[in-house]
A and B are shown apart, each in its own frame.
Chain A
């Protein structure tokens, strides 16, 4: 049977809350208690003050220690009362208190201000820039995609007839035009400028026929 006084219960809850040990119903109960118990905030403050002092390292001058200025909190609350619940509806629109219902619904789709919210021209520029970027990428992509399809056709069109010829290495398949070229230059046999049989190098040398200049 719980024989603790409500005040003690509240304080113990606050103590556990200060340690981050409350979840669920206990957490909600602690906050509820703060709404009802005037002294709860002072206790909450003193628990934190005690922790601050106990954690102060030795030989270090103590910072300004005092109870929290509840007047400060009151003044802040007055100002906050004039504030809309900024983005409050983001998490759970239904849980916003009814008094702020209108504001909550107004902010239901608020995603926070963008830096260019106030400048329509910037939005226009950003839109054009995006469009230009997409167009450039699409242009490049279409060029790349088209190449593989057309290349084989060009190769096919350029393909020349082939012939089978006998060579010292056996039967060889050659381009017919190459064969014509070789036949036309067959009489150029002899040593090339490199002193190797020209028959081997005839494809790579461009010696003029010996009697051409005569």
Chain B
């Protein structure tokens, strides 16, 4: 999730992550799996900007999550979980590069930056690990999701727009749309399901059967 969200959504997202961290620390490994799935894309993209070796990207991403897991009890929730994870990823990548005496492929700025905004230009730079096929597939996924979004019934499109793009909480959406919170939750879910159905075949092509 992007972290340049309005306060209501950002706060909620932090709460959700913090709760998953708490559950992991209490011994529920599935909760950590949810965090890994949520942030794996962003972490690999981040590392991919720093490391030329495609194989190394996954190794460093794995090491990042292992380190995060080991240190999870020390996560106090003072920073957002992703910000904390971001630092671990950058440090792990730097260490890997030093160990291998390799040079990073990107400017120093990407190391110095504390910016964890997914929409920042650096995050959106294509990395050398992205093959033309992967780039094409990405473009296709984005097009299908946007097309599915446009095809949604008005109330579903409005609900998910207010949530994902405007960053409103369920309560705020319920006021904006003059409907109960339960309805908001249901509409957002139905919107996501409708879009998921459209994009599912593409995702399955990429990484095998998922559903």
Contacts and interface: CB of A to CB of B under 8 A. Distances in A.
B105 interface: no
A112 to B, nearest CB: 6
Contacts of A76: 36, 62, 65-66
A68 B34 contact: no
A131 to B, nearest CB: 30
Interface string B62-94: 100110011111100000000000000000000
A17 B196 contact: no
Interface stretch (A58-66, A122-130, A156-164): A58-66
Given A52-B118, A68-B37, A86 B71 contact: yes
A64 B134 contact: yes
A47 B196 contact: yes
Nearest to A41: B37
A77 B29 CA distance: 9
Contacts, number: 223
A29 interface: no
A105 to B, nearest CB: 13
Nearest to A112: B74
Interface residues of B, number: 85
A15 interface: yes
Interface SS, B side: helix
B193 A11 contact: yes
B38 A48 contact: yes
A23 B22 CA distance: 12
A53 B165 contact: no
A64 B132 CA distance: 11
Interface of B: 1-2, 9, 11-17, 19, 22-23, 25-34, 36-38, 40-41, 44-45, 48, 58, 61-62, 65-66, 69-74, 118-119, 121, 123-127, 130, 134-135, 137-139, 141-142, 145-146, 149, 160-161, 163-165, 169-170, 185-186, 188-189, 192-193, 195-196, 199-200, 203-204, 206-208, 210-211
29 contacts: A21-B12, A22-B16, A23-B19, A39-B211, A42-B211, A49-B203, A55-B164, A57-B119, A60-B119, A60-B124, A61-B126, A62-B124, A63-B123, A64-B126, A65-B141, A65-B142, A66-B41, A66-B134, A67-B206, A70-B208, A72-B62, A79-B62, A79-B66, A85-B25, A86-B69, A86-B73, A87-B74, A96-B26, A96-B27
